[in-house]
Amino acid sequence: MQAAGQRQSISAASAVSAKGAFWFSTYQGALNGELLVERLKKLMHRRKKPLHLVLDGLARPQKEGGEDLRCLHPGPLTLHFLPGYAPDLNPDELAWSHAKRTGNARRPLRKGKKLEPRVAAQLAEIGNNPKLARSFFKHPSVAYISDL
Protein backbone atom coordinates (compact mmCIF):
# COMPACT_ATOMS: atom_id res chain seq x y z
CA MET A 1 0.00 0.00 0.00
CA GLN A 2 1.20 3.51 -0.76
CA ALA A 3 2.05 5.64 2.26
CA ALA A 4 1.06 9.30 2.35
CA GLY A 5 3.74 11.43 0.74
CA GLN A 6 5.10 8.64 -1.47
CA ARG A 7 5.75 9.76 -5.01
CA GLN A 8 3.62 8.14 -7.71
CA SER A 9 3.90 8.52 -11.44
CA ILE A 10 1.81 7.66 -14.44
CA SER A 11 2.38 8.27 -18.12
CA ALA A 12 -0.32 9.17 -20.59
CA ALA A 13 -0.73 9.71 -24.30
CA SER A 14 -3.55 11.77 -25.70
CA ALA A 15 -4.97 13.26 -28.86
CA VAL A 16 -7.41 16.13 -29.30
CA SER A 17 -9.37 17.04 -32.43
CA ALA A 18 -10.62 20.39 -33.67
CA LYS A 19 -14.12 18.87 -33.73
CA GLY A 20 -14.02 18.32 -29.96
CA ALA A 21 -12.96 14.70 -29.61
CA PHE A 22 -10.37 13.78 -27.00
CA TRP A 23 -8.69 10.36 -26.74
CA PHE A 24 -6.27 9.27 -24.04
CA SER A 25 -4.48 6.22 -22.75
CA THR A 26 -2.54 5.82 -19.50
CA TYR A 27 0.40 3.48 -19.01
CA GLN A 28 3.41 2.84 -16.77
CA GLY A 29 6.94 3.70 -17.85
CA ALA A 30 8.29 5.56 -20.83
CA LEU A 31 6.95 5.78 -24.36
CA ASN A 32 8.87 3.75 -26.91
CA GLY A 33 8.22 2.85 -30.54
CA GLU A 34 6.45 -0.42 -29.73
CA LEU A 35 4.12 1.21 -27.21
CA LEU A 36 3.39 4.10 -29.58
CA VAL A 37 2.44 1.69 -32.36
CA GLU A 38 0.18 -0.22 -29.92
CA ARG A 39 -1.55 3.03 -28.90
CA LEU A 40 -1.92 4.12 -32.55
CA LYS A 41 -3.60 0.80 -33.37
CA LYS A 42 -6.10 1.38 -30.55
CA LEU A 43 -6.73 4.92 -31.75
CA MET A 44 -7.34 3.70 -35.30
CA HIS A 45 -9.47 0.65 -34.38
CA ARG A 46 -12.61 0.63 -36.57
CA ARG A 47 -11.74 4.03 -38.00
CA LYS A 48 -12.67 4.41 -41.65
CA LYS A 49 -12.12 8.13 -42.22
CA PRO A 50 -8.58 9.45 -42.69
CA LEU A 51 -6.81 10.82 -39.64
CA HIS A 52 -4.01 13.37 -39.61
CA LEU A 53 -2.10 13.07 -36.36
CA VAL A 54 0.34 15.77 -35.30
CA LEU A 55 3.03 14.38 -33.01
CA ASP A 56 5.48 16.27 -30.87
CA GLY A 57 9.15 15.46 -30.44
CA LEU A 58 8.51 13.14 -27.48
CA ALA A 59 6.32 10.89 -29.62
CA ARG A 60 9.00 10.35 -32.23
CA PRO A 61 10.59 7.07 -31.11
CA GLN A 62 11.55 4.60 -33.80
CA LYS A 63 11.46 0.83 -33.71
CA GLU A 64 14.72 -1.06 -33.53
CA GLY A 65 16.41 -1.05 -36.89
CA GLY A 66 15.26 2.53 -37.52
CA GLU A 67 11.89 1.68 -39.08
CA ASP A 68 9.74 4.76 -39.53
CA LEU A 69 6.46 4.69 -37.56
CA ARG A 70 4.44 5.53 -40.67
CA CYS A 71 5.43 2.16 -42.13
CA LEU A 72 4.22 0.30 -39.05
CA HIS A 73 0.57 1.25 -39.19
CA PRO A 74 -1.49 0.54 -42.27
CA GLY A 75 -4.69 2.42 -42.88
CA PRO A 76 -5.95 5.97 -43.16
CA LEU A 77 -3.33 7.47 -40.84
CA THR A 78 -0.96 10.28 -41.76
CA LEU A 79 1.61 11.37 -39.21
CA HIS A 80 2.93 14.93 -39.08
CA PHE A 81 5.87 15.72 -36.79
CA LEU A 82 6.41 19.00 -35.00
CA PRO A 83 9.95 20.25 -34.37
CA GLY A 84 11.82 18.60 -31.49
CA TYR A 85 10.51 20.94 -28.78
CA ALA A 86 7.52 23.07 -29.75
CA PRO A 87 4.79 22.75 -27.09
CA ASP A 88 3.25 26.05 -28.18
CA LEU A 89 2.41 24.51 -31.59
CA ASN A 90 0.65 21.47 -30.13
CA PRO A 91 -3.04 21.79 -29.12
CA ASP A 92 -2.68 18.61 -27.07
CA GLU A 93 -0.13 20.44 -24.90
CA LEU A 94 -2.84 23.04 -24.26
CA ALA A 95 -5.07 20.22 -23.01
CA TRP A 96 -2.29 19.08 -20.66
CA SER A 97 -1.72 22.63 -19.47
CA HIS A 98 -5.43 22.89 -18.67
CA ALA A 99 -5.31 19.57 -16.79
CA LYS A 100 -2.29 20.66 -14.75
CA ARG A 101 -3.80 24.04 -13.88
CA THR A 102 -7.21 22.72 -12.87
CA GLY A 103 -6.81 19.18 -11.62
CA ASN A 104 -4.63 16.64 -9.94
CA ALA A 105 -1.52 18.75 -9.49
CA ARG A 106 -3.61 21.10 -7.37
CA ARG A 107 -4.76 18.44 -4.87
CA PRO A 108 -2.46 16.04 -3.01
CA LEU A 109 -3.39 12.36 -2.92
CA ARG A 110 -4.71 10.97 0.34
CA LYS A 111 -3.10 7.97 1.97
CA GLY A 112 -3.88 4.76 0.07
CA LYS A 113 -5.16 6.57 -3.04
CA LYS A 114 -3.72 5.84 -6.48
CA LEU A 115 -2.78 8.47 -9.02
CA GLU A 116 -3.79 6.57 -12.20
CA PRO A 117 -7.58 6.49 -11.61
CA ARG A 118 -7.53 10.16 -10.70
CA VAL A 119 -5.63 11.16 -13.85
CA ALA A 120 -7.87 8.93 -16.00
CA ALA A 121 -11.00 10.52 -14.50
CA GLN A 122 -9.71 14.02 -15.15
CA LEU A 123 -8.79 13.19 -18.75
CA ALA A 124 -12.21 11.57 -19.23
CA GLU A 125 -13.77 14.88 -18.10
CA ILE A 126 -11.93 16.65 -20.93
CA GLY A 127 -13.17 13.94 -23.31
CA ASN A 128 -16.74 14.48 -22.15
CA ASN A 129 -16.54 18.22 -22.85
CA PRO A 130 -16.26 18.75 -26.63
CA LYS A 131 -16.53 22.53 -26.21
CA LEU A 132 -13.43 22.51 -24.00
CA ALA A 133 -11.53 20.25 -26.43
CA ARG A 134 -12.39 22.56 -29.34
CA SER A 135 -11.20 25.56 -27.35
CA PHE A 136 -7.60 24.31 -27.46
CA PHE A 137 -7.62 24.98 -31.22
CA LYS A 138 -8.60 28.63 -30.76
CA HIS A 139 -5.25 29.58 -29.27
CA PRO A 140 -3.24 31.78 -31.70
CA SER A 141 -0.19 29.49 -31.55
CA VAL A 142 -2.12 26.62 -33.20
CA ALA A 143 -3.87 28.71 -35.86
CA TYR A 144 -1.83 26.83 -38.47
CA ILE A 145 -4.09 23.80 -37.94
CA SER A 146 -7.52 25.27 -38.38
CA ASP A 147 -9.41 28.47 -39.01
CA LEU A 148 -11.91 27.88 -36.19
Q: Exposed (0-12), middle (13-18) or buried (19+): which is 46, by Cβ within 10 Å? A: exposed
Q: What is the mean pLDDT of the chain?
A: 76
Neighbours of 97 (CB within 10 A): 13
Neighbours of 23 (CB within 10 A): 16
d(CA 77, CA 42): 12
Neighbours of 63 (CB within 10 A): 15
Query: Tell me: the pLDDT tens digits for 42-82?
Result: 888 777 777 777 777 655 555 444 345 555 555 677 777 77
pTM: 0.72
Q: CB-hemisphere CA count at 13 Å for 86?
A: 13
Dihedral, 53, 59, 63, 67 alpha carbons, nearest 10 = 50
pLDDT at site 65: 41
